[in-house]
Structure 1
């Protein structure tokens, strides 16, 4: 109970700070919006033989775009933690009876909420282009997206504690984020990729998540790939949060 209460207190504080500076959410939506408007229409010729058209193109592309937002946004949240460490915010929090794990979880959940807000905005902006998703599968897709965001944020916080400088953290995160995103099929379905690339992508959990997201956006919540991706991402999220929480408890004293 204490962990849940402390996490809620930290989350409330972090959420208040986010609400006071909403401009960065708008900035976070701007780049995905450019991809939504300028890149997704290029998928129509790819799907034309199947008679997909714009609606099918956005059902394929929007889940990948949301996953890319989680990967690129979530893995860079560690820089926020570094800023708080330098400003002494974490130092002042250490003298309180708040759980060290709650200090991490409260911040990670703030990132999850921010990314979900961006995901909802992008989904709404895609509706005029023909995107149509049943509410139930859409909510399940947001659940999967939230788990991915929590996992990415936890990994980013752990990396920030291991590599506690901006100059060193930036290339480490870039080295991880770019191949993970490319091997997830976020821009184009991996079914268009050569066999060797699909074999490599099969080891990427975000690739499974993208497949599950696309099945949900297509209105197929009973597809086995949905539940496999949910179980895989949930298990990896638990491991990532546990690893980051242990680092946080050990290094933030």
Structure 2
């Protein structure tokens, strides 16, 4: 008697559903964002720093710089987009901090054991940082309206989209730094702070660089954040045809591409 050795197909309900990048990213985002919703007070307190910068730094600009030096804009109108970029810079630049805790507790290894896309881990976590930051940016923008700030709603959306792409890339680089700093939290914060503040200053986010030394202006031309900041200022005022918006979008896309390549390679090495 012959034995049929043909493999029997598994019932449809037992076959694992095929997931894609979008599905995996959404799963990571929902998992990570649920933790944020459990601690809403962190969002409230995170508003304090940009509000302090907005309330104290803008009056200093008004007393020390003329409208011509600020491109014809009022100090608050000129400074507000920079504050929005600063929120994203500090938020997504700290994406790897949560990973350091997961590395210590072992939960990161459990995530790697799942069949989830490695790129989705990076993008989902970065979007988790960007979602509350977008809400904060809208609140701060609306809070500045009574003080004479005018902005374009469509331009704000365009600016946030550019900032989102840039934030994904920066978040992925932060993730890669956390993996390289495993068990050495001091190294992560040391490198992160050493890089963040020069990028911030050399982008013209806080002060215009036109009156600065030539070497600072030269360094600003190779700083991708410079183009993102300029794009945000043009977008917020509604100048959607300004070439700086295209330049900012290109800088954000390149940062995102580099960040994802470096981040995915780091994740694959850690999984191996």
TM-score by length of 1: 0.92
Partner of residue 209, structure 1: 228
Q: Quote the offset at 1:96 in angstroms.
A: 2.4
> Structure 1 residues 191 and 218 mapped into 2: Cα distance closer, same or farther (>3 Å)?
farther
> Structure 1 residues 51 and 237 mapped into 2: Cα distance closer, same or farther (>3 Å)?
closer
1:118 aligns to 2:136 (yes or no): yes
* CA deviation profile, 1:186-241 (whole Å, cap 9, x unmatched): 11122232333111111100011111111112221101111111112112212211
* CA deviation profile, 1:233-252 (whole Å, cap 9, x unmatched): 11221221121022112213
| Distance in 2 (alpha carbons) for counterparts of 1:80 and 1:43 | 35
Q: Quote the offset at 1:93 in angstroms.
A: 2.0
Cα-Cα RMSD: 2.0
| Distance in 2 (alpha carbons) for counterparts of 1:22 and 1:49 | 39
| Distance in 2 (alpha carbons) for counterparts of 1:157 and 1:94 | 14
Q: Quote the offset at 1:103 in angstroms.
A: 2.3
1:133 aligns to 2:134 (yes or no): no
| Distance in 1 (alpha carbons) for counterparts of 2:115 and 2:219 | 46
| Distance in 2 (alpha carbons) for counterparts of 1:233 and 1:103 | 20
Correspondences of 1:89-238 after superposition (within 5 Å): 89-164=107-182, 165-238=184-257
1:72 aligns to 2:100 (yes or no): no
Q: Quote the offset at 1:50 in angstroms.
A: 4.3
Gaps of 5+ in 2: 1-18
Larger relative CO (CA 8 A, sep 6+): 1 or 2?
1
Q: Quote the offset at 1:48 in angstroms.
A: 4.2
Q: Quote the offset at 1:46 in angstroms.
A: 4.1
| Distance in 2 (alpha carbons) for counterparts of 1:176 and 1:96 | 33
Aligned-partner SS, 2:234 = helix
The answer on whether the counterparts of 2:119 and 2:260 sit within 8 Å (CA) in structure 1 is no
Q: How many residues align?
A: 252
Gaps of 5+ in 1: none
Q: Quote the offset at 1:121 in angstroms.
A: 1.8
The answer on whether the counterparts of 2:166 and 2:256 sit within 8 Å (CA) in structure 1 is yes
| Distance in 2 (alpha carbons) for counterparts of 1:233 and 1:32 | 22
* CA deviation profile, 1:71-105 (whole Å, cap 9, x unmatched): 22221221111111212211222332222332222
Partner of residue 266, structure 2: 247
The answer on whether the counterparts of 1:55 and 1:131 sit within 8 Å (CA) in structure 2 is no
